[in-house]
Amino acid sequence: MKKQSNLSRLLKIAGSHKYLLYASWVLSAVSAFIALVPFYYIWKVIRDVLDAAPDFGQAENLPRNGWMAVLFSVIAVLIYISGLMCSHKGAFRVATNLRLRTMEHIIKLPLGFAESFGSGRLRKIVNESSAATETYLAHQLPDRCNAIATPCGLLILLLVFDWRLGLLSLVPVVLGFLIMMAMTGRRMQEKMKEYQDALDDMSNEAVEYVRGIPVVKTFGQTIFSFKKFKDSIDRYKVWVIAYTKELRTPMMFYTAAVNGVFATLIAGGLAFTRNGVTTEFLLDLIFYIVITPVISVTLTRIMFQSENAMIVNDALQRIDSVLNLKPLEETEHPGHPKDASVELQNIRFSYDGETDVLKDISLAIPQGQTVAFVGPSGGGKTTLANLIPRFFDPKSGSVRIGGVNVKDIPKEELMNTVSFVFQNSRLIKATVLENVRMGKPDASREEVLDALHNAQCDDILEKLPHGADTVIGTKGVYLSGGEQQRIAIARAMLKNAPVIILDEATAFADPDNETRVQAAFSKLAEGKTVIMIAHRLSTVAGADQIYVICDGRVAERGTSRELMERGGIFSRMWQNYQTSVQWKVAKE
Ligand code: ADP
Ligand code: MG
């Protein structure tokens, strides 16, 4: 049922290429029929030999029949290959369409989506899932047509030759197969699913283990983490055993049935020839004994192919998990911000559609002011800031820049209006120059170097073998967190957006870098509207306005002086902060 709908869906995606897929199925089936023709000629060859014996000179047709067998084998292979050529072309089209469709959809999604979805999972969907459908259409389905056509062809062949012997050989094999399928049936499907899941789980744990090595080493948790990986291997082993065990009895039964054919053939055959055994009959008998296992082998092939359909089903489900996400609404009435003020009105937001992470937040930031969001981790600061460049859209309420709802600001313009510097700015594997130029693609070399200078990056450039033209992230050229941060600031400087968001941007800078990073930030913030989310309360003391955000609400607001006098959350945070700084100083 499900399989059917998956297939029709894939055919729809194939568009006009679906005819190539149809052709591939027909060609695979035809090649299976033709591959049986040589059996007929071999049978003729054996009969000619027996007829002519002992004077083999009389067997004139011998070479001809031999060649015919070869010829038909070659034809069968050629047809099969042309079928594969069709299926590959069609499958490639389907996989490409799926990839493009997924990517096109991802581009329309809120930017924050990739972050919350996980890049590993995303890669798996875009690449592996489409690849799974490609393999399915290119190889597995033609193979299935071939596997189904072979026993059908044999059935005709065996019945035409001698229907009595045909029935004697076929009935046990087909019955045995049906009984085996009934015995394994659903249970085996379930076991197979568990087995696939365990396999997935094991590879995920392996990735997690490798990815976690730095953390794991730092905290000396090697044994714990490795145990998780090892446990997943053990679970996998259990399922492999369970799965193969499930197969054991039915397979034994089936093998017995197939071998029983020899007994029924001989017993039945003898019964048909009461007048004694003729050469002719012996020949047929040998032929049937040789050909029956071919049927049983192809039938088993069909059984194991149900796995493929399941894998494709999973792959399509994964792709759907992305395609079902709602894209950002496109505006119909574009507007242009008149200044760099930011206004959040009655914002509610939820990641899962159930619990609100932001609960009715309203605040206004006049152009050119610097505000700070502080508060406990998980309070919603990052989420709130993410709504400004539309990484996500709020569930209700509005975000306005310069009086215009961000939904109405054209995407490109919004991107140029807001700069975001994250806690761990990621640089891409490219030269320093190219990394900075991402902020303004048409910037001249001088402009880029200027931005680097203003972002306090001179010492970094001096250190690098080719200065600003050094490719970073490769061949041993690695930069510290603080250094990467400064280059990210240079990028934001070049972009020169009027609204700047700094999300815990100094959190990871080492003491050496910190003053430089701070200086770079001050330069970046000059004349801009700045939203700063900060760990270190010392950095927010100078803000025009501080918002304490707790549990998705604004708990307190005011200047640092006002908040200190009030003696609320902020003043307690400040005291704690002072103590921790004094404690650190005392330790040094
Ligand atoms: P803060 O920046 O103040 O530490 P966040 O905005 O990061 O807080 O998180 C607010 C809440 O939203 C937390 O409960 C957090 O677990 C949750 N959250 C943050 N990011 C995501 C996400 N991508 N998907 C689901 N929940 C998230
Ligand atoms: Mg945060």
Closest ligand to C-alpha of residue 375 is 1
Task: State the closest ligand 1 atom to the C-alpha of 549, by its place in the atom list counted from 1.
Answer: 3
In angstroms, what is the span from residue 571 Cα to ligand 1's centroid?
24
Q: Give the model's confidence band at 59: pLDDT under 50 very low, under 70 low, under 90 confident, else very high.
A: low
pLDDT at 212: 66
Q: What does the pLDDT average to over 295-312?
A: 79
In angstroms, what is the span from residue 222 Cα to ligand 2's centroid?
28
Least confident window among 1-15, 202-216, 279-293, 327-341: 202-216
Q: Give the model's confidence band at 388: pLDDT under 50 very low, under 70 low, under 90 confident, else very high.
A: very high
Closest ligand to C-alpha of residue 361 is 1
Query: What is the CA 477 to chain-centroid distance, rounded?
Result: 30
Say yes or no to pLDDT of 187 above 80. no
Higher per-residue pLDDT: 229 or 530: 530
In angstroms, what is the span from residue 318 Cα to ligand 1's centroid?
24
In angstroms, what is the span from residue 416 Cα to ligand 1's centroid?
25
Q: What does the pLDDT average to over 563-573?
A: 89
Q: What does the pLDDT average to over 451-476?
A: 87
Higher per-residue pLDDT: 305 or 543: 543
Tokens encoding 194: 């568990």
Task: State the closest ligand 1 atom to the C-alpha of 377, by its place in the atom list counted from 1.
Answer: 4
In angstroms, what is the span from residue 525 Cα to ligand 2's centroid?
20
Burial (Cβ within 10 Å: 0-12, 13-18, ≥19) of residue 275: exposed
pLDDT at 255: 81
Tokens encoding 103: 């990517």
Q: What does the pLDDT average to over 124-146?
A: 89
- Closest residue to atom 19 of ligand 1, CA basis: 383
Higher per-residue pLDDT: 40 or 219: 40
Q: Give the model's confidence band at 1: pLDDT under 50 very low, under 70 low, under 90 confident, else very high.
A: very low
- Closest residue to atom 10 of ligand 1, CA basis: 380
Quickly name the fold that domain 2-323 has: ABC transporter transmembrane region fold (1.20.1560)
pLDDT at 282: 74
pLDDT at 479: 82
The helix/strand/coil state of 23 is helix
In angstroms, what is the span from residue 325 Cα to ligand 1's centroid?
19
Least confident window among 10-19, 51-60, 419-428, 514-523: 51-60
In angstroms, what is the span from residue 381 Cα to ligand 1's centroid?
8
Task: State the closest ligand 1 atom to the C-alpha of 116, by its place in the atom list counted from 1.
Answer: 23
Distances, alpha carbon 467 to alpha carbons 438, 445, 460, 485, 509, in Å: 18, 13, 8, 17, 22
Q: What does the pLDDT average to over 447-452?
A: 94
Task: State the closest ligand 1 atom to the C-alpha of 384, by its place in the atom list counted from 1.
Answer: 6
Q: Give the model's confidence band at 583: pLDDT under 50 very low, under 70 low, under 90 confident, else very high.
A: low
- Closest residue to atom 5 of ligand 1, CA basis: 380
Q: Which residues line ligand 1 (CB under 6 A)?
A: 115-116, 351, 357, 377-383
Say yes or no to pLDDT of 221 above 60. no
Closest ligand to C-alpha of residue 507 is 2
In angstroms, what is the span from residue 379 Cα to ligand 2's centroid?
8
Give the C-alpha separation, 238 to 171, whole Å. 36
Q: What does the pLDDT average to over 316-332?
A: 83
Residues of the chain with CATH 3.40.50.300: 342-587
Residues 261/290, Cβ–Cβ less than 8 Å:
no
In angstroms, what is the span from residue 351 Cα to ligand 1's centroid?
8
Q: Give the model's confidence band at 510: pLDDT under 50 very low, under 70 low, under 90 confident, else very high.
A: low
Least confident window among 290-294, 342-346, 362-366, 408-412: 290-294
Residues of the chain with CATH 1.20.1560.10: 2-323
Say yes or no to pLDDT of 308 above 50. yes
Q: Are strands 418-421 and 396-401 parallel, antiparallel or unpaired?
A: unpaired
Give the C-alpha separation, 77 to 328, whole Å. 51
With CA atoms as reference, report the closest residue to 464 among 450, 451, 476. 476
- Closest residue to atom 27 of ligand 1, CA basis: 351
Residue to probe by mutation, ligand 1, list 351, 361, 391, most atoms within 8 Å of CB: 351
In angstroms, what is the span from residue 378 Cα to ligand 1's centroid?
5
Q: What does the pLDDT average to over 140-157?
A: 87
**Helix runs in 219-278, H state only:** 222-272
The helix/strand/coil state of 552 is coil
Burial 235-266 (b: 16+ CB within 10 A, else e): bbeebeeebeebbeebbeebeebbeebbebbe
Residue to probe by mutation, ligand 1, list 383, 388, 504, most atoms within 8 Å of CB: 383
Residue to probe by mutation, ligand 1, list 348, 382, 549, most atoms within 8 Å of CB: 382
Residue to probe by mutation, ligand 1, list 116, 347, 357, most atoms within 8 Å of CB: 357
Closest ligand to C-alpha of residue 423 is 2
Residues 401/388, Cβ–Cβ less than 8 Å:
yes
In angstroms, what is the span from residue 429 Cα to ligand 1's centroid?
28
- Closest residue to atom 25 of ligand 1, CA basis: 351
Closest ligand to C-alpha of residue 356 is 1
Task: State the closest ligand 1 atom to the C-alpha of 383, by its place in the atom list counted from 1.
Answer: 6
- Closest residue to atom 26 of ligand 1, CA basis: 351
Closest ligand to C-alpha of residue 110 is 1
- Closest residue to atom 6 of ligand 1, CA basis: 380
pLDDT at 409: 92
In angstroms, what is the span from residue 399 Cα to ligand 1's centroid?
19
Residue with token string 């680097």: 452
Closest ligand to C-alpha of residue 422 is 2
Q: Give the model's confidence band at 418: pLDDT under 50 very low, under 70 low, under 90 confident, else very high.
A: very high
Angle subtended at Cα 465 by Cα 459 and Cα 486, rounded to the nearest 5 degrees: 35
- Closest residue to atom 12 of ligand 1, CA basis: 357
Beta carbons within 10 angstroms of residue 412's beta carbon = 8
CATH superfamily assigned to domain 342-587: P-loop containing nucleotide triphosphate hydrolases (3.40.50.300)
Residue with token string 């004694």: 276
